[in-house]
Structure 1
Amino acid sequence: MSLVNVTNLTFSYEGTYDNIFENVSFQIDTDWKLGFTGRNGRGKTTFLHLLLGKYQYSGNISAGISFEYFPFEVQNKKDNTIHVIDSICGDYLHWQLMRELNLLDIAEEVLYRPFDTLSNGEQTKVLLAALFLKENSFLLIDEPTNHLDMNARKLVSDYLKSKQGFILVSHDRTFLDNCIDHILSINKMNIEIQKGNFSSWWRNKEMQDNFELAENRMLQKDIKHLTQAARQASDWSDKTEKTKIGGKQSSGVKGDKGYIGHKAAKMMTRAKAIEARQHTAIEKKSQLLKNIERVDDLKISPLPYHTERLAELENISISYGNKAVCTGVNLTIERGDRIALCGKNGSGKSSVLKLICGEQITYAGSFRKGSQLKISYVAQDTGFLRGKLTEYAYAMGIDESLFKAILRKLDFSRLQFEKDLSDFSRGQQKKVLIAKSLCEQANLFIWDEPLNYIDVLSRIQIEELLFKYQPTILFVEHDRTFSQNIATKLVNI
């Protein structure tokens, strides 16, 4: 066991004025299975890069151990997988590699195939196996779930549960709950560490938030009363002071200056005491609500459709060239359905969505879609995003003010609006696609892995949105909690 000590860490990117971290201090035990959570853009990946020494910072990070980062950058994806592993971790025994691959359900023959012929999920698992071959290192695992289907996530989560000594960035609640024993959270105003899993941290956060909100309500009432009392006392002491200086009392008879002076001093002391209490209450209030996240309600604009049935697929098979990606797909979409399309990576889920959206897909079978059906589509990939938000809104034909208002509700700062879309974090890019979809009026919403890289609070916002407005939606999503909470139907490919 060794410790990672972070002391007075302050960091901002060159050319910016806002600190991502400011005088942050905490301690990590390198035996922990540490989950790492926080809203998009708060600096989770940045902190991992600081541990790796990629950026200059003020403060101190001390550790008696080296750090290894996942995902590794594979220089030549045409190489056989065994050579990729050798380039990452040359010092291992073959039986050790086979032990890790068996735990991850990867066959040995994969080692002798070019790395780029592996599915995204297989690549993720192979790189994780290579990561855990490295000894005497503290492992920094950055969002490993985004290319894993639901079953693969369970497998990888069980794999990590059997390990120790890592920081794991993930927004999948079920995944985290299964494999971590501590949680590191980047809040609005600080960083904190708690023992337990994500659910226990979330319960504690809700309790703390509710306590602070109740305290805040009481303090606001107290401040209001104190302000009124201070004003009355100030007015009273002013009047008494004027009488002391030489004015007549209401009866027209001069008062006793000694008595009046004593009374004025007493009133002045009382006024100052009330004012001091008011400042104390305001100061206490300023310490509350510091980490309460603003989570505003989102809105969606589902359009009614003139028939009950929107689309129907019967015995659909989809091929690319001579390769069939799926066969025998049967799917009926009716008004009000919230359908989760399930299946392993590579089973053709995205191809089915694109077929319904009207893309040129080679297929066999019967496909019927309602006339004048308006579809709003969220793509899985965000790599095409470029330019400013204003330009993007214009190109998509959506209302810029509404678009930016939705992004504000998804925790975008106004400074973010001035950046290029290519400079956004991956979670922020995904939020751009979702916000665009929420601006569109549609009969059917089709979302392909909408939650990739998106923080937990935003996931909960989106869940509440879908519950409230109940749009007709067909989606692919490997977040088990989200799918279980939202779907009215599950369709397996």
Structure 2
Amino acid sequence: MPAIQVTNLTFAYPGSYDPIFEHVHFQIDTDWKLGFTGRNGRGKTTFLNLLQGKYEYSGTISTPVAFDYFPFPVEHPEYLTLDVVEEIVPNYESWKLMRELNLLKVSEDVLYRPFESLSQGEQTKVLLAVLFIQDNRFLLIDEPTNHLDLHARKLVADYLNTKRGFILVSHDRAFLDRCVDHILSINKTNIEIQKGNFSSWWTNKTRQDTFEMAQNEKLYKDIQRLSASAKRTSSWSFETEKSKNGTRNSGSKLDKGYVGHKAAKMMKRSKSIEQRQHAALEEKSKLLRNIEQSESLAISQLEYSKSELAILDHVTIYYGERAVCKNVSLTIEPGDRIAISGPNGSGKSSLLHLLNAEALHYTGTFQRDPQLRVSYVSQNTSHLRGTLSDYAAEHRIDESLFKAVLRKLDFARIQFEKDISAFSGGQKKKVLIARSLCEEAHLHIWDEPLNFVDVISRMQIEELLLEYTPTIVFVEHDREFHDRVATKTIELGGD
């Protein structure tokens, strides 16, 4: 199969002294099902844009294929979905679209509804179907899972597993495992490709990290030994050189030429040891180059004196005349980690809004202590702008602690100088999570907190919640996160 060849790729955004890519080389077979992973801000979307020729760069990208990028821009969401498809791919073959929609379990009637009236999950599936109705294209699929529930993620993963010739950006481990056969990873200092799914890549990376850390420990001990030896030899040389003007114990004069020669020899040995030390230090700099530092996070909830934080008894929530979730009964107790699950449109976010004491129309019984302090993380990040310092002041949290949490979530210090609106989607989510971790609260409510957040940060947050066992109610469609963290699951849908 033809290959995409990347040679000596170097790229930095205008005005930035920090290159996203520097002298990068690799090759991609256009027949692969390639999962693309890396921490937020490392340049995954940037690389997809470079493939499409959107930015100027140095080096070469040889592309024997044309590209299509998901998600497609929809210029007229008020149009019927059928017309939106026609705008994206003029003169498409109708049977191909129907074939793809059928594989994605999307009914034909969505084509005759305004695109904007479709749920976000339906919109995602329609645009994925459009992606696969053209031939001879290499597909760039950028985070398709962010608006898909657990069931839809499995369906889409199985769908993609039947396809070939794409790069898939996703941070959902279970999703990647179901549908890719290679992993392209942007590491701290390089880009590498491995055959296999995410789990096999992660196993290999963990093994390599363990080896490098063991080598680093051995090298550190060698450096300490060399340093001590160099200091001793240098000291001996200095004392010997000083003795040139002294006398022997017998009173006769010293042979200054002999002593000087001996001192020079010892100094030469000292320099040799010093050079070995520098070489060892240089070798050390090559080790640990791709070990991702994921320091432990912490959370400190306020003590709650009562045995129940909130009670819902046969609660039904309405938007206008429409019931968005029905007959929900739930008791939240200290230490509960409750996952709210269900298909898109089943009222998960509405339930979280009610628990956050937002004014909603409902029937049934809802009891919540008015003194209960809640820290809420919303799905939406579009409101984020301004500096991190201003954001910390606005939310009355400790700025130093806030930035320390962001550093642990892989924020470079240079990010602290930027406007939040310029952050990547994952970095904006991390701002919301870091703020929540800094707030004093009895209960944390998180609505899809991991959208766009990289895998390693997801693991950090998992370990945090398992170690500190805070009281939290959350909606999250990452299967691994959901299964590891939740102590209870509330399933919405139907009656």
- 1:338-377 equivalences under 5 Å are 338-377=337-376
Partner of 1:135: 135
Q: Matches of 1:269 and 1:95 in 2, distance apart?
A: 81
Post-superposition offset of 1:187: 0.9
Q: Matches of 2:41 and 2:182 in 1, distance apart?
A: 22
Partner of 1:125: 125
Partner of 2:412: 413
Residue aligned with 1:441, SS? coil
Q: Matches of 1:250 and 1:22 in 2, distance apart?
A: 65
Partner of 1:152: 152
Q: What TM-score comes out, normalization by structure 2 length?
A: 0.96
Partner of 2:58: 58
- 1:142-291 equivalences under 5 Å are 142-243=142-243, 247-255=246-254, 260=259, 263-291=262-290
Moved beyond 4 Å, runs of 4+ = 255-262
Q: Are 1:44 and 1:169, in contact at CA under 8 Å, matched by a contact in 2? A: yes
Q: Which deviates more, 396-405 or 479-488?
A: 396-405
Q: Matches of 1:61 and 1:252 in 2, distance apart?
A: 79
Amino acid at match of 1:28: I
Amino acid at match of 1:185: S
Amino acid at match of 1:61: I
Identical-pair percentage: 64
- Cα pair distance change 1:238/1:111, threshold 3 Å: same
Amino acid at match of 1:475: F
Provide, for residues 103-134 of structure 1, a one-character-per-residue CA deviation record: whole Å limited to 9, x for no partner. Answer: 10001111111111110000000000000112
Partner of 1:300: 299
Q: Matches of 2:105 and 2:364 in 1, distance apart?
A: 34
In structure 2, the gaps of 5 or more residues are none
Residue aligned with 2:45, SS? helix
Amino acid at match of 1:45: T
- Cα pair distance change 1:346/1:251, threshold 3 Å: farther
Partner of 1:386: 385
Provide, for residues 362-385 of structure 1, a one-character-per-residue CA deviation record: whole Å limited to 9, x for no partner. Answer: 111111113411111000111111
In structure 1, the gaps of 5 or more residues are none
Amino acid at match of 1:37: T
Partner of 2:10: 10
Q: What TM-score comes out, normalization by structure 1 length?
A: 0.97
Q: Which deviates more, 411-420 or 156-165?
A: 411-420
Residue aligned with 2:309, SS? strand
Amino acid at match of 2:330: L
- Cα pair distance change 1:250/1:345, threshold 3 Å: farther
Q: Matches of 1:391 and 1:461 in 2, distance apart?
A: 26
Partner of 2:100: 100
- Cα pair distance change 1:70/1:241, threshold 3 Å: same
Amino acid at match of 1:366: T
Residue aligned with 2:379, SS? coil
Post-superposition offset of 1:412: 1.1
Q: Are 1:243 and 1:249, in contact at CA under 8 Å, matched by a contact in 2? A: no
Amino acid at match of 1:280: A
Provide, for residues 318-339 of structure 1, a one-character-per-residue CA deviation record: whole Å limited to 9, x for no partner. Answer: 1111222111112111111000
Post-superposition offset of 1:65: 0.6
Q: Matches of 1:131 and 1:307 in 2, distance apart?
A: 53
Residue 20 (structure 1) aligned with residue 20 (structure 2): yes
Residue 114 (structure 1) aligned with residue 120 (structure 2): no
- Cα pair distance change 1:336/1:251, threshold 3 Å: farther
Post-superposition offset of 1:99: 1.2
Q: Matches of 1:383 and 1:24 in 2, distance apart?
A: 33
Partner of 1:87: 87
Provide, for residues 434-467 of structure 1, a one-character-per-residue CA deviation record: whole Å limited to 9, x for no partner. Answer: 1111111111110000101000111111011111
Post-superposition offset of 1:261: 5.5
Residue 443 (structure 1) aligned with residue 442 (structure 2): yes
Q: Are 1:309 and 1:370, in contact at CA under 8 Å, matched by a contact in 2? A: no
Q: Provide the aligned C-alpha RMSD in A.
A: 1.5
Q: Matches of 2:231 and 2:469 in 1, distance apart?
A: 52
- 1:421-436 equivalences under 5 Å are 421-436=420-435
Partner of 1:34: 34
Residue 403 (structure 1) aligned with residue 411 (structure 2): no
Q: Matches of 2:243 and 2:359 in 1, distance apart?
A: 91
Q: Matches of 1:445 and 1:337 in 2, distance apart?
A: 11
Residue aligned with 1:8, SS? strand
Post-superposition offset of 1:248: 2.4
Q: Matches of 1:41 and 1:299 in 2, distance apart?
A: 23
Residue aligned with 1:368, SS? strand
Post-superposition offset of 1:247: 3.8
Q: Which deviates more, 476-485 or 81-90?
A: 81-90
Amino acid at match of 1:121: G
Amino acid at match of 1:223: I
Provide, for residues 157-213 of structure 1, a one-character-per-residue CA deviation record: whole Å limited to 9, x for no partner. Answer: 001111010000000000001111111111111111111111111111111111111
Residue aligned with 1:138, SS? strand
